[in-house]
Structure 1
Amino acid sequence: MITEHEGPGSLVILANFVSPLAVGLHEESVLRQWSRQAPRKLWLTRPGDVLITPVPLSDAFRRYVFQRLGIPDGAVDIIVVPDTPHVPMAEALAGHGLLESLRARVGERPTARLLPTALDEASVALAMDLRIPVMPYETGVPNRATLRAVAELNTKSGFRAVAHSLGIRLPRGRACTGAELDRATGALLGAHERVVVKPDRSAGGHGLHFLTRGERTARPAQPPEGHWVVEEYVDHTRAVSAQGHVTAALTEVVYDGEMRMNGGSFAGYRSPLTDLSGPARQELTAWTGALGRHLALEGYRGPYSLDAVSAQDGTLYALECNVRRTATTTVHALLSRLTGTDHPLPAWATGTAVAASPMSFDAAVTRLAEAGLDYRPGDAEGVLLYADRPVHGTDWRYAALATDRARLTEVEAGLAAALGHDRS
């Protein structure tokens, strides 16, 4: 488990998926979709903690999590912040009259610390209003220069600039404005059969457009003031990612894995990496470490990830970094917590299992139990439903754990069979 989840004092866990760090606040639909994953943050809680979430948690999910964590029901305060378009979640607290209630809770917890999902200006302002530190900053809160560096590295152009300075291999490409996009795309298509057009600030594959030379493919809308990155498309065998963590004393690579992709969008993860050549995996580790040391110099503390693809000839190309808590950070933390080990996990994965028909949360857990897959603390293998019941009751986000890669494949196949549908 990463360091900020350890030690005394309560955490105020801010699940601020609605933040301008990953995408623009005008992207209401994608922010709303990401916010549905906020219930997974309940796995980070301990008695006395406060969870601030953009979506309510079902009673069944809350019982499920607390039973496995050994936490009494009611020992964690949960504050739900209703959706507020175009406003960062940390600011929306005041607009919904929830700030005074939060101040009162913090007043009862003199050693409380704020743990935001995204380190944006609004979350730091909230910590200062509450007079509590942001974890894991030894100075209490990061300075403005650090916030600027974090915001910049969460853009495609900002990452490319830093990667160039660190000697990290990138696909050929360039950053441009919307007014320059057609010209930049045409020039790159003149040299490469296929290119990718990316909004400068985007995440999880949102907003990507793939264009092929000679095809009449619609280009994305291009307001002149917008910012984009156009890159050659790297024909690849797999997409990979490594997760790093920065403290005042140490930068380390915590885990790596292969990303499951669906149309350029993140759809799951399998760790550790096993199908990448030794030199390529070492290169990914070295790049991730170099990026972490750069972040440390910028004053950043906490988790970050580096995403890359392996080309047909085995050459590795970095695509982007995520300087925030990612889709795998909480899952890795909860699995480490439930297994009770600080050693690398043997084999684990995340994904979405599609049920043949809608079902309740309790019914889905019953299916797992009947299949012998319902994970309990200390088990060597099993499945956890880590993000509450999906909206339509069919697409279940899960984490799976096993003793090795072959057994992990069997566990995931068992989950698909238990829900009556193929795994996606």
Structure 2
Amino acid sequence: MARLVIGNWGNEAELANIPADALRHAGSQGQRMIWGAEPGDVLVLAVEPDPDFLAYATALAGLEEDALEIVVPPPGRGGEVLTRDRFEDEGFVERLRGIVRDRGIDRAEPFYLDGYVNRLIRQLGLDKGTPGFGFMDQGGNELLNSKVTFRAIAAGTSLPIPEGIVTETPAEAVDFVWDLLRTGRAAIAKQDVSSGGLGNEVLSTGDGVEAIGAAHHALVADRAAVAEHLTRRWPWYTGGQRRRAVFEEYAAGSVPIWGEAAITEESVRIFGYGRIRMNPVCDGVIIPVPPPDSGTEAFGAFLVHLEALAGTMRAMGYRGLVNVDAILTPDGRVLFNEFNGRYGGSTHLFAIGERVVGRDYLADRCLVEQRECAFPAFAVARRELAAAGLAYDPETRTGVIVPVHGTRSDGTGGEACLVGRDLAEAERMEQAVAELFPR
């Protein structure tokens, strides 16, 4: 049966961390859902995709031109992202009811089952057919996207995690952070329910620490400075005193990786993994994890633990996709950082790998994601990529794929997926794209 696919980038709390000038980019990322769509699906997106881009993406994904219907709710306070008020528009809800009825849609597939999305799903009568909906609707969405909950589950199942604490008091955080700093280590503070490193802050005593994976870096020279800084920042760490915060040892020089799995009633399937590029927060990915890291004992342990963690989530009642972050430390360990019970920011790249690149792409191809490309209008960008010999070629299974277009308010910009035979070839394409479309 057909699905109602909802391209909501994340939860409502995360929108507070997105700068106003980045909202269009966040909203346009709903286009990533096109790559996993099936014939007859209806996609709810924050902004209308360029018709030329939609035709290009559906064709590459192996879909007929009219296989999908795109629905965009009226503008709201979020403007270019999907927000609660846009889903509460009565005319929009009534229109969706008719589409659900006429197309025989029996379930929803949102990027993230957040509260306002769950309400829409219930209004449309799709709650019974949506796998795992009951668990997520009763607070499971918060549990499985919470760094606080993650540390509890990880510790209870012997998952390797950084030394750390979960706390609701600044005094306890000061003691823990200073114990790390006074012994020459660094610390990282994490908001409970943020993503992409936007809710993280590294704390160190000197500027010799490269703070990747965090949007903020604070230098604190002594215990008094730690106390002053943490007290001042406490409302930010805790979302206005509403949540607990996580403090961990920061393992500088580590390689950030992640993996994704599909959890169903019957099984758990790992379907992809890769390395995260940080600048200093997530700035694209490399699929799969390239050598030499892919050949280490720590990476092998990562895959084993990933499957076990997904199995724990399945036993809790979760159904759907999960993406899990970890690091490979310089001393040869794997440490897990968080889980997210939802689509990942790169789930669409695995769909592109399976549907477009094909064969055993994780073994014989490398996909590099570039999240900020200065593409002109799509028709022009496509023409110039082809003229430069960069457009994706199904025969060689190499070239540039455009997964998202129109990330800027004027309808230009986008993201690129560079497909090479190895990392070096993909990175050469990335450089060529940057030269062809300079920022």
Maintained 8 Å contact 1:68/1:377: no
- Give 1:405's aligned residue: 423
Residue 322 in 1 paired to residue 334 in 2? no
Task: Tell me, yes or no, if the aligned pair for 1:243 and 1:305 is still in contact at 8 Å.
Answer: yes
SS of the equivalent of 2:385 reads: helix
Q: 1:221 aligns with which of 220, 233, 256?
A: 233
CA distance in 1, matches of 2:414, 2:181: 39
Take 1:360 and 1:397, find their aligned partners in 2: how far apart are those partners? 13
Aligned-residue sequence identity (percent) comes to 24
Q: What aligned pairs does 1:184-203 form with structure 2 within 5 A after superposition? A: 184-203=176-195
CA contact (8 A) 1:352 1:395 kept: no
Is the CA contact (8 Å cut-off) linking 2:112 and 2:343 kept in structure 1? yes
Aligned position for 2:32: 40
**Structure 1: 5+ residue stretches without partners:** 1-8
Q: Distance in 1 between matches of 2:7 and 2:101?
A: 20
Amino acid at match of 1:372: G
> For the Cα contact (< 8 Å) 2:162–2:336, is it kept in 1?
yes
Does residue 311 in structure 1 map to residue 323 in structure 2? no
Show the 5 A alignment for 1:69-108: 69=61, 71-81=63-73, 82-85=75-78, 89=83, 92-95=86-89, 97-108=91-102
- Taking structure 1 as reference, are residues 150 and 383 closer, same or farther at Cα in structure 2, changes over 3 Å only? same
In structure 1, what is the equivalent of residue 354 of structure 2? 336
Q: How many residues align?
A: 405
Change (3 A) 1:79 1:143: same
Whether the 8 Å contact between 2:77 and 2:85 is mirrored in structure 1 is no
* One-letter amino acid matched to 1:113: R
Question: TM-score, normalised on structure 2?
Answer: 0.82
- The match for 2:133 among 133, 142, 145 is 142
Tell me how far 1:327 sits from its aligned partner.
1.0
Q: What is the SS of the residue equivalent to 1:36?
A: helix
Structure 1 residues 377 and 102: alpha-carbon distance in aligned structure 2, compared to 1, 3 A threshold:
farther
Q: Which amino acid aligns with 1:125?
A: R
1:251-400 to 2 correspondence within 5 Å? Answer: 251-263=268-280, 265-273=281-289, 274-276=291-293, 277-341=295-359, 344=362, 346=364, 347-352=366-371, 354-355=373-374, 359-375=376-392, 377=394, 379-391=396-408, 396-400=414-418
Amino acid at match of 1:109: R
Out of 151, 154, 174, the position equivalent to 1:160 is 151
Alignment correspondent of 1:419: 437
Alpha-carbon shift at residue 91 of structure 1 (Å): 6.3
Contact 1:124 1:134 in 2 (8 A): no
* Distance across 2 between alignment mates of 1:93 and 1:360: 29
- State how far apart, in whole Å, the 1-side matches of 2:269 and 2:157 are: 17
Say whether the 8 Å CA contact 1:197–1:209 is kept in structure 2.
yes
Q: Give 3-state SS (helix, strand or coil) of 1:37's partner.
A: helix
RMSD: 3.0
TM-score by length of 1: 0.85
Structure 2 unaligned segments of length 5 or more: list them.
207-218, 236-240
- Aligned equivalents of 1:10 and 1:61: distance in 2? 23
Matched position secondary structure for 1:230: strand
Alignment of 1:205-216 (within 5 A): 205-213=197-205, 215-216=219-220
Structure 2 residue corresponding to 1:59, chosen from 38, 51, 60: 51
